[in-house]
Copies of this chain bind each other. A is one copy, B any other.
Amino acid sequence: MSARALLAFGVLCAAPVLAQQAPSEIVARSTGEEWVAIAPSDLLVMELKPLVGKPRRVVIQLMPAPFSQGWVGNLRTLAAAHWWDGLSINRVQENYVVQWGDAASDDKKKAKALPAGLETVPASAYVVPVVAPLKGVLAIRDAYASQVGITPDGWPFASDGKSYWPVHCFGAVGVGRDFPPDTGSGAELYVVDGHAPRHLDRNLGVVGRVIEGQEHLSSLPRGTGALGFYEKAAERVGIVSIRLGTEVKALPAYEYLSPASPGFTAYVEARLNRKDPFFVTPAGGADLCNVPVPVRRVK
């Protein structure tokens, strides 16, 4: 038995000539013009306190219109103000979320003042009305909505026909809030770090996704307090800075595989029906969060 071949999915082994390619192979063989550049102005770059001297950078792509733009605007304001610098990761809950912000936000005397100009975003902003036939609807069943798909600019969505909304897949970044649904400014953020908690869709604002470095968050020690909050201040993980990509020197360029490209179509088909050599029985389907849009550094 070869330990290294286990669950290999054709990455390490040459596929027989007639077998279908694995999704990762299809993505690797797509051509440069099938990819779309992500503007640095649409990135947030988080630098955590180094671990044993090694830097820990997490790169987040911000959600484009028509979704969540009130909160995304707040995130740009907070980043421009360097507001998160010196704050911390305060919560790591197994199979759920990693959350950061001001650990003292409960204490009016100690809470860090927010920058001017933050918008109060109403609960109605959790969804967007459908005004024209939705593009990118996928022929897959979903447990949470009557329709799901991927927008032309590469973001998964769900819909009930009247409205559509962004979804909580692994790596999705959302806006923490208190009980009234308009209480989240974006100062407190979380990233999904487990099985997609899709019941949060339409209940919390999804404002982006981690495109690099999520392992620096997901491998953190779990908090032992209620909901995975760290119980001691010393357990919190320091945030050195969060910056808009335009403020970061020598930032690598990133790109996503265009949903309009032939490579993307082949990739989705392969995700839904794994026929590469390892597989005995293709599923004949895949849930939306198991069809992540490929994102990579520009080569």
Contacts and interface: CB of A to CB of B under 8 A. Distances in A.
A6 interface: yes
A144 B283 contact: yes
A7 interface: yes
Interface string A94-114: 110101011101100000000
A63 B91 CA distance: 32
A280 interface: yes
A197 to B, nearest CB: 7
A252 to B, nearest CB: 17
- Give the 3 A-B CB pairs with smallest separation, nearest first: A6-B176, A143-B287, A202-B281
Interface residues of A, number: 79
A90 B201 CA distance: 36
Given A199-B286, A287-B143, A290-B199, A3 B281 contact: no
Interface in A1-44: 1-8, 11-13
Interface in A239-273: 271
Given A11-B226, A227-B12, A280-B202, A3 B195 contact: no
Contact of A12 (B123, B202, B226): B226
Interface string A280-297: 111111111110000000
A282 to B, nearest CB: 8
A203 B278 CA distance: 8
A172 to B, nearest CB: 11
A158 to B, nearest CB: 9
B176 A281 contact: no
Given A1-B105, A219-B222, 15 more contacts: A1-B177, A1-B187, A6-B178, A6-B188, A6-B190, A7-B190, A7-B200, A94-B218, A123-B280, A141-B143, A143-B288, A144-B285, A170-B195, A196-B287, A203-B274
